[in-house]
Amino acid sequence: MGRRSEPKLTSRERLNRGLHYTAVGPVDITRGVVGITALSAESAAGTIKRRAREARAARHDVAAELEAVKQVIAELPPKLQQARKAPHRRRRRLLVFGFLGLATAGGAVAFVIARRSSTPEPSALPPSVDVAPKI
């Protein structure tokens, strides 16, 4: 590995190079900071726009739901009056629940009868296998 064969800089060249990098360094730093700031501002603006758009959509949805609720509430008193005027409703409800009760009771009776008839009679003969296990 030999030494590099670069010629030595003169004092004037060394001074020029130092001044060049001294002048260019802050300019590059400034350009970088401005670029990063611009990109950050653009990203923040996009985020704000997106959130505003979502907020408008949500506000529109809430307004539509509120209108639907107002309409239902407005229709509620006539519906309640109509429901109060129906006297045969109680009799029909009693008939339906009575029929359901009878059907349940009938099903329970049928289940008990079927269960009793399907249970085999115990055998009078002793078991053919030892019941007690051998140790």
pLDDT at 116: 72
pLDDT at 32: 84
Number of other CB atoms surrounding residue 30 within 10 Å: 10
Phi/psi for 81 (5° steps) reads: -60, -40
Q: Exposure of 2 by Cβ count < 10 A (0-12 exposed, 13-18 middle, 19+ buried)?
A: exposed
pLDDT at 47: 94
Q: pLDDT 10s per residue in the chain (135 long)? A: 456 677 787 888 887 887 788 877 777 878 888 888 999 999 999 999 999 999 999 999 999 999 999 898 888 888 888 777 766 666 778 888 888 888 899 888 888 887 776 656 677 777 677 667 666
SS3 62: helix
Instruction: Look up residue 51 and give its two tokens.
Output: 């959130």
How is the chain split into domains, by residue range?
11-85, 87-118
Residue by residue, DSSP assigns 87-108 as THHHHHHHHHHHHHHHHHHHHH
Place of tokens 């949500």: 58
Specify whether the CB–CB gap between 12 and 20 falls below 8 A.
no
